[in-house]
Amino acid sequence: MDQRDLVQQQFGAQAEKYAQSPSHAFGRDLGRLIELLALRGEMRALDVATGAGHTALALAPLVREVVAVDLTPQMLSQAQALAQERNLHNVTFVEADAEALPFEDHSFDVVTCRRAPHHFTDVPRFLAEAARLLRSGGSFGLTDQTTPEYENGRNFIEMFEQLRDPSHVRALSPVQWHGAIESAGLHIAHLELQTEERDVEEYLDVAAVPPQGRAEIYRRIAAASREAAEMNGFREVNGRLRFERRRVIAIARR
Ligand SMILES: C[S@@+](CC[C@H](N)C(=O)[O-])C[C@H]1O[C@@H](n2cnc3c(N)ncnc32)[C@H](O)[C@@H]1O
């Protein structure tokens, strides 16, 4: 199946869960992203892969206008409903692909993308689009799950993510993100890591992993090297398996 079909199938079915997910609505990476962007009231912002709109709606009260883009119509409907609920009228919603964005060159002051690039088939193409759309001096703000630099730890967490969600393509390590952003002609102003402890079973629930998929995931975790699991913070707490979701938060200027 084409990657875009996989994304629409995965997120189309789970759109309501993402709208209600406390981690997506209130995760610390959102507040930190907004804080680091130093937004001003005259700015025009683009939020790419907006999902249920949590980032776009956090930007909206702080800027003049937000355009929110996603590939999955059901996610956009959730985002639109949330905007109405919060009485936010400066957000428009557009169905489009992060790797081919239908906007004029240099037409945004800010481009954000939160918790989505690991679903993109071609991150350099997305970054080239972000660079094209930003005016000179404009800001790119990213948060996304990241991997250990070491291959062993990286392969383990990527295996876990791909089994959980078939629309997961590839997460980049902090060093890989740094290289990719600079190669797109954007200049890193800030890069930090954040961790969020998550309950594995709850994390599988958000993606609606069926029972046989869960059994396979637990079998693969048990068979993995201790080192690889520990590098990703997998451990049992009160009989429940938990892990550390690591995220990269980056701000770059055009
Ligand atoms: C986890 S959600 C995003 C969360 C959201 N940014 C937030 O802050 O809550 C991932 C989203 O990426 C979207 N997506 C995946 N690949 C995409 C692509 N190539 N272009 C646009 N959206 C894409 C999916 O449809 C989904 O809505």
Taking the CB of residue 205, how many other CB atoms lie within 10 A of it? 14
Specify the CATH class of 3-149+167-197+244-253 in words: alpha beta
Q: What pLDDT shows up at residue 180?
A: 98
Q: How far apart (Å, rounded) are the C-alpha atoms in residues 145 and 170?
A: 10
Quote the ligand 1 centre to 213 CA distance (angstroms): 23
Residue ranges with strand state E in 24-170: 44-48, 65-70, 91-95, 108-114, 134-145
- Residue owning the nearest CA to atom 25 of ligand 1: 72
What 8-state DSSP symbol labels residue 172?
A: P
Q: Considering the entire predicted model, what is its pTM? A: 0.95
Taking alpha carbons only, the member of 25, 28, 32, 42 closest to residue 86 is 25
Do 114 and 55 form a contact (C-beta atoms < 8 A)?
yes
Distance, CA of 109 to CA of 39 (rounded, Å): 9
Tell me the pLDDT of the chain (254 aa) as tens digits. Answer: 798 999 999 899 889 988 998 889 999 999 999 999 999 999 999 999 999 999 999 999 999 999 999 999 999 999 999 999 999 999 999 999 999 999 999 999 999 999 999 999 999 999 999 999 999 999 999 999 999 999 999 999 999 999 999 999 999 999 999 999 999 999 999 999 999 999 999 999 988 999 999 999 999 999 999 999 999 999 999 999 999 999 999 999 99
For the CA atoms of the chain, what is the radius of gyration? Answer: 18
In this predicted structure, what is the pLDDT of residue 222? Answer: 93
Residues with CB under 6 A from ligand 1: 7, 11, 18, 24, 49-52, 54-55, 70-72, 75, 97-99, 114-116, 119-120
Integer Cα distance of 253 and 104 in angstroms: 18
